[in-house]
Structure 1
Amino acid sequence: MFGYLFILLFLYLPVYVFAKNRATALQNLNHIHLKIFFTLTKRLAPKTKYNIPDNLREIHSSVVVCTHLSYLDPILLVSLFKKQKTIVKHTFFKVPIFGWFLKNYGYISSGSDTMMGAAMINNLEDIKQHLSSGGVLFVFPEGTRSRDGSLSPFNKGVFTIARYCNAPLKLILIRGTNKLFQPGHFLFHTQEHNEIELRLIGSLNPDYKSKDFSIAALADETRKIFEEKIDHLKSDNKGD
């Protein structure tokens, strides 16, 4: 693991030193690196099929709200979006080398020291500028991986960010990543038949300036869309 990170550090250092916009350049390099990673993964796990519509790659200037099943989810999304930011569990920033990468990608720690006061305002302004330049912010409002596919309670912080940035929401349902790389396991399940699917199940363009706008109502509406789609897919599977 650390040897792999050292190799990445060696490859990324020239970009870190010479790029005019360091975070954007590193995000792009990470995007390319993880596209290659998934190309290799497809060869190593030929029984896993991928169903990812091209229109997902065209999403820009949006907050992308996703379900969360596996550690594969964020790196899969990075492989789709050239300019990307996300909110990462604060403990990952403490991991040697890996934390350095996260910080220099421009990713945001979920720790209280970065989500309050002046630091939070700076983060919001960075996100707003990132979105206005065509980037995406992808987030997992559950905050943790689901072990059974059901939805955990949503953190409303993402909807506060979307309002601050006046950004549309794109809702993506992720399926199958937990079968290839299961929570609690360290090895890929390469010999099982599986399908990894990403679906754009909704697009929301809230009127943030309306006197009737509510963060809680937007969170509830978003969650309802996910719940209805998950229930519908479960019904289809039972019918099969």
Structure 2
Amino acid sequence: MSETSTTARHEQDQDPVVVYTAYEIDFMLGLRDTENGRITREQIGLRSAPEEAREFVTAAVSSGLRARGKVERSGEGQWALGEEGQIVATALTSADRWLGIALSEGPAMRMAFVVKADRAVLMLTQDELDSFQVTALPDPAVVPDSIADIVNAFLEDGAERTVSLRRTDLADPSDQVPMMMHVEPSGAWRLGHLPLDEEGVLSVSDLPRDKVAAAVAALWDEGTSAAPAR
């Protein structure tokens, strides 16, 4: 996992940007081991250090966080997170809904994830390799428009681009709802949606550009992947 910096910023925070490495986020998740947190790790592809290096990495990470005043030791010798770390760790370990987003053009791909925990929402945007810029969204209701803006901006910038979306809900983490949006070489926009055919391929429909937000909203709010309403 890369040691490239990860940014965590609360929506209302006016302080300088708080920076975390991917290993630091993994460390914070490990302080509060929950089933939701384990699912979050799987959803965003977060991995701990290799077993043979884990002790060294953990010591280095905890020392770095402590030196920056982000964690401290309690009287019982337990690590306690600072305010910024609590914002990130609480959402990631209590998550009840995840939306994975992949923006691809040829072999190049960028990933992002929306993680919801009750009314708290974080967006993790891939920075480099396995590091992420983490930002807070003010409310789950803003997610569809925020994602639709990203989708439209990406697809409008060139043909043969693809956005893949995948919604997962805590009620049944194994039941992931997929959706895909693609720009053909001709410039036509297509929507890949359920049901799958016999070969496991998404059904395809025309995608009017003014239907992108509605499709994203149906996926995020209802877990629905279907042809655009006429």
Bigger Rg, structure 1 or 2: 2
Range of TM-score over shorter length: 0.3 to 0.5
- Name the structure with the higher helix share: 1
- Name the structure with the higher strand share: 2
TM-score (norm 1): 0.36
